[in-house]
Amino acid sequence: MNYQWYPGHMTKAVRMMQENIKLIDIIIELTDARVPSAGRNPDIDELGKNKYRLIILNKADLADPAITKKWRDYYQSQGMFVMEMNSKTGNEASKVKDLILSACAEKIEKDKKRGIVGRPVRAMVAGIPNVGKSTFINKLAGKASAKTGNKPGVTKGKQWISLGRNMQLLDTPGILWPKFEDEEVGLHLALIGSMNDENLDITELACELIKTLNECYPAAVYEKYNITKEQVEELENEQFATSLSAVLSAIAINRKCFKQGATPDIDRAAALLLDDFRNGRLGRISIEKP
């Protein structure tokens, strides 16, 4: 499957970040805690040279907590400040602000020595599409300052948002990079919903999810949909199907998703599986390990 997706507004977003990087002190990069490596844009590392860095492992409530801790330790060992959170329901706004000030403590002290007092710390919020940047900003601001949505591409232009007198945030559109060198990166981003599903084969993507989960959380799908291995093997033999599509057939049957003639609707089953995974209904799952 082709996982490339780079709409025109993303090219503009990269240019905008390049133009504004000189105005900011720290880059706050949100990444999805389930795919912390694939969920980070390598362009941001290049743009953020000589800037303080804060990594937010967002949607941590959907990820495996033991693996999230390993990622936190890993990024801290790279000299970055790190925090895990759930932007939707978490109450960590004050902790984030404190961490931003801690990360920029050296810069604040330098300003004081030069007689510059009261200049707000300026932070750029960055990340790939659909990682929760706007929700995160609204949590910090305590109001709906940024547009939100459960699909990529909601934020189209830059927005400066004030967090009191000592802090300002620059919101930026989510950006992917023009080409994935590693197809697995594209797959992981597609699985968490960072690409437009309309450009993807959802049934094929769901099969890839089953394959991935079989390797790291083999019971997740079977337990969620009350599937047995015997049922899957029987469907595989009956339909001359692969084991992966047979799992989708089992999901369709057990959830009563049928086409006319009592044929299992594997397309509906695929959409159901992806939605359940993306919303944490299969359990707390991390696809990547450091």
Model pLDDT, residue 152: 39
Within this chain, do residues 147 and 220 fall inside the same structural domain, yes or no?
A: no
Query: How far is 262 from 284, CA to CA, in rounded Å?
Result: 33
In this prediction the pTM is 0.85
Cβ atoms 133, 96 nearer than 8 A: no
Model pLDDT, residue 142: 80
Within this chain, do residues 145 and 74 fall inside the same structural domain, yes or no?
A: yes
Within this chain, do residues 74 and 136 fall inside the same structural domain, yes or no?
A: yes
Within this chain, do residues 164 and 80 fall inside the same structural domain, yes or no?
A: yes
Within this chain, do residues 219 and 274 fall inside the same structural domain, yes or no?
A: yes
Confidence of residue 277 (pLDDT cuts 50, 70, 90): very high
Query: Hey, what amino acid is at 168?
Result: Q
Within this chain, do residues 205 and 164 fall inside the same structural domain, yes or no?
A: no
Of 125, 149, 171, the residue at which a domain comes to its end is: 171
Within this chain, do residues 217 and 274 fall inside the same structural domain, yes or no?
A: yes
The secondary structure of 11-57 as a DSSP string is HHHHHHHHHHGGG-SEEEEEEETTSTTTTS-HHHHHHTTTSEEEEEE
Of the candidates 158, 163, 108, the one whose C-alpha atom is nearest the C-alpha of residue 137 is: 163
Q: Look up tokens 């995974």; give the residue.
A: 277
Domain of residue 268 covers 201-278
- Per-residue pLDDT tens over the stretch 206-260: 999 999 999 999 999 999 999 999 999 999 998 767 899 999 999 999 999 999 8
Confidence of residue 153 (pLDDT cuts 50, 70, 90): very low
Is position 287 within any domain? no
Q: Name the more confident of 63 and 6.
A: 63
Model pLDDT, residue 206: 97
Expressed in angstroms, the distance from the first to the final Cα of the chain is 25
The domain that holds 40 is classified in CATH as 3.40.50.300
- Per-residue pLDDT tens over the stretch 28-56: 999 999 999 988 877 788 878 889 999 99
Within this chain, do residues 146 and 100 fall inside the same structural domain, yes or no?
A: yes
Model pLDDT, residue 148: 40
The domain that holds 239 is classified in CATH as 1.10.1580
Within this chain, do residues 210 and 144 fall inside the same structural domain, yes or no?
A: no
Domain count, the chain: 2
